[in-house]
Structure 1
């Protein structure tokens, strides 16, 4: 998959795709339905399968001080889209100039002139242009006038509406399996392993620490997890247990991170990118009376996680 971030000087080979348009935060089942329709359009037209998304997320651009809401960072999104067979990822920079485009300017400048898209696919709730002035009917009309096809996919439902908002709510409530049903895959936290204080190593449970800054915060506590080591000599899949929280036993600061213990693993993962899938919520983050009590609970958590993950 090619990731195209410079839309001003596009390689001619990167033009002419059929592309799904949206933010695709989480790449959930609704997003996947849009991409599946795009795949059909691309096949019928003999065009590459593309996705147009925006970085930063427009919500981040307009409200930079709002609480973090993103389900995945740009790298995790690209990783998921690659798995879906996307060939061209147009990671369009969202800035003040783009935010002021009218719907017509967006269609003429971005879709036609810069990217040369032959067909676009959007969800039924798609809005575009300054102040969200354009909707799917606007896009269809502009497509007929400017020479690109438009397909609109209906919203997907599964017990409740499949949306990034409902997925965030499920994660906030400690319901990762409900989130996974709407996502169509496990919710994953991806990023490089960072150096911690190595207390886990001293306790007999060395952990791989990762930042969750700028991501939506799942319910704090302990999870059964599936872990993919994405690069390096230890690349592969592992089971594990992870704690998302602020380490109350040690009086740490209030910035939560994720600390993951990989079962049956020995090795150095500092700087290595991991993908940690939240499978089940085991318990809330607790402060224990002693380190011995904490170690006993960690052993119990790992036993519980092993039993859960054996059937996953």
Structure 2
């Protein structure tokens, strides 16, 4: 996939192409359906398939104090968009200046002149241009003006349309199973492994602690079964703790993953400190609760590891 960071990076005379636009936060099943139709339309017409996305998210620019948390960081968004099979991604730097483009100015400058679009694939709820003044009908009118077809994609979902808002709701409630169903894959976070209080190691359950600057929504407090993917791409089964660990005082909210069935102690190359890792959440095992004494906590952690192993075996 070609990855263009800004309009200036698009090769002169690029095209013909089939284009879609969107924020694609989460790259969920609804997004995947639009992108599937995009790739299909490109192949049928002998055109390149190009997605236009935006960074930062427009809500972070227009109303930063009210902007919802992003489901995933930019690196994961780009990686997952590439996996859909599109030929190119144009990432537009979203600023207040860019937001002044009218719907027609945006379509003419980005979709027609830069990408040579012969078709545009969009959902019927699309909004674009200054003040979100453009919609599906606007795009159809502009298609007539500039000579491209508009291919509409119906809402994707059963009882409720797949959306980033819905995913955020499920993660906030800790229901990662439902969130994963909408996403079409496990929810993930990405961040650097940093040193913690080493309390897990003292208890016999060493953990990889994610930096507070990690990308991706932190689900509700609790213990989860999931995976840790290290810098080399190796997937390790993991029991993941989210919260402040109420058994101990003075601990701030954190995400830490205990790799199970890890190499035997003393293996020198199993050192995750400083690595950028991905943590994927498969299922919530239990809420975060305080235990009376360390021994009770250790017994519960052993049970968590057994449940994690069973859940991942089924998954």
Task: Tell me, yes or no, whether TM beats 0.5.
Answer: yes
Residue of structure 1 in register with 2:266 after alignment: none
**Which among 236, 240, 243 is matched to residue 238 of structure 1?**
236
Q: More deviation in 18-27 or 245-254?
A: 245-254
> Bigger CA drift: 119-128 or 63-72?
63-72
Q: How does 1:7-22 map to 2 (within 5 A)?
A: 7-12=7-12, 15-22=15-22
Distance 2:314 2:58 in 1: 39
1:279 and 1:53 map into 2 onto residues whose CA distance is 28
Aligned positions, number: 308
Alignment of structure 1 residues 19-30 onto 2, 5 Å: 19-30=19-30
**CA positional deviation for 1:253:** 5.5
Question: Equivalent residue of 1:227, what SS?
Answer: strand
Matches within 5 A, 1:1-312: 1-12=1-12, 15-66=15-66, 68-211=68-211, 213=213, 215-229=216-230, 231-232=231-232, 235-252=233-250, 254=252, 256-266=253-263, 267-312=270-315
Distance in 2 of aligned mates of 1:252 and 1:149: 59
Q: Is the 8 A contact 1:170 1:178 kept in 2?
A: yes
Name which of structure 1's ranges 34-43 and 147-156 shifts more when overlaid on structure 2.
147-156
Provide the C-alpha distance between the structure 2 equivalents of 1:260 and 1:13, rounded to a whole number of angstroms: 48
Calculate the aligned-residue CA RMSD, in Å: 2.0
Q: Secondary structure at the match of 1:18?
A: strand
How far residue 220 of structure 1 moved from its aligned partner, in angstroms, is: 1.0
Q: CA deviation at 1:258?
A: 1.4
Flag the 1:19–1:207 CA change in 2: closer, same or farther, 3 A. Answer: farther
In the alignment, is the contact (CA less than 8 A) between 2:13 and 2:114 conserved in 1? Answer: no
Question: Structure 1 128/253 Cα, relative in aligned 2: closer, same or farther at 3 Å?
Answer: farther
Distance 1:15 1:7, change over 3 A: farther
2:267 match: none
Assess if the C-alpha contact under 8 Å between 2:170 and 2:176 holds in 1. Answer: yes
Q: Distance in 2 between matches of 1:103 and 1:286?
A: 51
Q: Distance in 2 between matches of 1:221 and 1:120?
A: 43
Q: Which runs of 5+ in 1 are unaligned?
A: none
- When structure 1 is superposed on structure 2, of 147-156 and 245-254 the one drifting more is 245-254
Q: Secondary structure at the match of 2:117?
A: coil
Q: Displacement, 1:95?
A: 0.4
User: CA offsets, 1:170-194, max 9 Å, x none?
Assistant: 1122211111221111112223323
TM-score (norm 2): 0.90
Distance, in Å, in 2 between the alignment partners of 1:147 and 1:193 is 51
CA distance in 2, matches of 1:212, 1:57: 20
Say if 1:14 and 1:88, in contact at 8 Å, map to a contact too.
no
Contact 1:188 1:277 survives alignment (8 Å)? yes
Q: What does the per-residue CA deviation read over 1:99-128, in whole Å, with 9 as the maximum and x for residues that have no partner?
A: 111111111122223343333211111000
Give the drift of 1:305.
1.0
Gaps of 5+ in 2: 264-269
